[in-house]
Amino acid sequence: MTSEPDMLPPVSSLPAWLVPSVYLNWSEDWLREAVAVATGTNEHLLPRGADGPQRGDVVVTVVGSDPGVIASVELMGATQGEDWIADDAFGPDKPVLWDDLFSGASAYARSSGWLPQEHARLVLDGIAHQFRNGASGTLEPGDCETGQLSPNLHVLRILGHRTITGREMNTEERCNSCEQFVGVTELRPHDDGARAAAESGAVRELARLISDTHLVCDPCHELLHGHSVAAQRARMRPACPSCHSRGTAKRIIWNETIHDEMRLDPDVVYGGFDVPVPTPEWYCPQCHANFALGVVGTRAFGSGASVPLPPSDLDVAPPVESSVPEI
Ligand SMILES: [Zn+2]
Ligand SMILES: [Zn+2]
Ligand SMILES: [Zn+2]
């Protein structure tokens, strides 16, 4: 357990003549930068060179725009070759919005460089204030039904990952719907509260917007919005336990007589009448594995337990593909 709320105020409560030089590092590559900060990887980019920040300077990294989100506040430490070692990093857990730091802050949108001394002070004080008291504003969530969710909300969900889940973000995270691991930059943000908010007409607070935002894989996101029967059919097919391909498994139809006038469904296979036991339910055209779901074990799992179940792969002869039998 760390006592992070104490981390920032000491910087801000320095006497006015001791306010460190503050470098504004506004990143255009908002998604990659937010993931780099949230996962703590060294892909987080800091300005370099003789004109850039030196030991003792503060770098404020901002991503997105209108209003812009503070991704990190770092006190520069020693250099290690070309790379900075930041002694002190604040964030990213709590939402802090750039535009709300002081009036006139929005004029700095998407720019990088040294802040004038009076604005450096206002920025540090403003960050400390929002950090302690919560962000004052909220933002337009965007609409993931018809287009894209706001990049600001997307990065706030990524930066707030530790607050939401209680653990650090990894470069691959589970889809919040199907639980499969996907690279974080490929996970889509879905606004789960949009429908209820549209019905009630209520404006959601920033914290509520963030907790309503779920990171899901593309196929799951498609299921959450309007889509065709064909798309749903493909998405609901189980992944092959042997080659792990998704969306292509075919249901095996047993005991069905095939005759000439019958229109054969290309998305199923006809297994015939010689039904093996145990009976496979699905056929994978990629690797020819056939498998059944619903293998039942009898071990109790508590809510906190997390022992992975061994994969079950029934090895039975492949059924006939859905071609019309020779006459
Ligand atoms: Zn998913
Ligand atoms: Zn969505
Ligand atoms: Zn397969």
For residue 148, the CA-to-ligand 1 centroid distance in Å is: 18
Q: How far is the CA of 205 from the centre of ligand 3 (A)?
A: 46
Q: What is the mean pLDDT of residues 16-45?
A: 86
pLDDT digits (tens, 9 = 90+) for 279-307: 999 999 999 999 998 777 788 887 665 55
Lowest mean pLDDT across 5-9, 20-24, 31-35, 309-313: 5-9
The pLDDT of residue 92 is 65
Q: What separation in Å is there between the alpha carbon of 254 and the centre of ligand 3?
A: 20
Q: What is the pLDDT of residue 325?
A: 45
Whether pTM > 0.85 for this model: the answer is no
* 315 Cα to the center of ligand 2, angstroms: 39
Residues near 249 by beta carbon (within 8 Å), at least 6 away in sequence: 237, 238, 239, 240, 282, 283, 284, 285
Mean pLDDT of 136-162: 91
Count of other CB atoms within 10 angstroms of residue 225 = 10
Cα of 160 vs centre of ligand 2, distance in Å, is: 19
Helix/strand/coil percentages in the chain, nearest 5? 30, 20, 55
- Ligand positioned closest to the Cα atom of 247: 3
Across the strands, what pairs with 253? 270
Q: Cα–Cα distance between 235 and 224 in angstroms, integer? A: 11
Residue ranges of the domains in the chain?
4-133, 151-224, 238-327
pLDDT at residue 53, as a whole number: 84
Closest listed ligand to the CA of 188: 2
From the CA of 249, which ligand is nearest?
3
The amino acid occupying position 276 is: P
Shortest-distance ligand to the CA of residue 221:
2
Among all bound ligands, the one having the nearest atom to the CA of 177 is: 1
Neighbours of 5 (CB within 10 A): 11
> CB neighbours of 320 closer than 8 A, spacing ≥ 6?
269, 270, 271, 272
* Cα–ligand 1 centroid distance for 177 (angstroms): 5
Q: What's the confidence (pLDDT) of residue 318?
A: 52
Counting ligands in written order, the one closest to the CA of 176 is: 1
Averaged pLDDT for residues 127-148: 88
Instruction: Give the confidence band of 324 by pLDDT, cuts at 50, 70, 90.
Output: very low
Residues with CB under 5 A from ligand 2 (ion): 144, 190
Question: Is the pLDDT at 235 greater than 90, yes or no?
Answer: no
Distance from the CA of 150 to the center of ligand 2, in angstroms?
A: 11
Q: Distance from the CA of 230 to the center of ligand 1, in angstroms?
A: 17
Calculate the average pLDDT of the chain.
83
- Residues of the chain with pLDDT > 90, as a percent, come to 46
| Among candidate residues 95, 177, 87, the one with its CA nearest the CA of residue 139 | 95
Cα–ligand 1 centroid distance for 76 (angstroms): 39
Q: What is the pLDDT of residues 183-210, one digit of tens each?
A: 999 999 999 999 999 999 888 999 999 9
CA 225 to ligand 2 center in whole angstroms: 6
Question: What would the CATH number be for the domain defined by 4-133?
Answer: 3.10.590
Confidence of residue 265 (pLDDT cuts 50, 70, 90): confident
* Contact indicator for 61, 76 with CB cutoff of 8 Å: no
Peptide bond preceding 20 in cis form (omega within 30 of 0)? no
Instruction: Pick the ligand that lies closest to the CA of residue 212.
Output: 2
pLDDT tens-place string over residues 60-116: 999 998 899 999 988 887 665 555 556 556 666 789 999 999 999 999 999 999 999
Q: How far does the centroid of ligand 3 lie from the alpha carbon of residue 308, in Å?
A: 21
Give the lowest-confidence range in 41-50, 105-114, 237-246. Answer: 41-50
Ligand 3: distance of its center to the CA of 216 in Å?
23
What's the rounded mean pLDDT across residues 28-42?
91
pLDDT bin (cut points 50, 70, 90) of residue 161 is very high
Q: How much distance in Å is there from the Cα of 232 to the middle of ligand 1?
A: 13
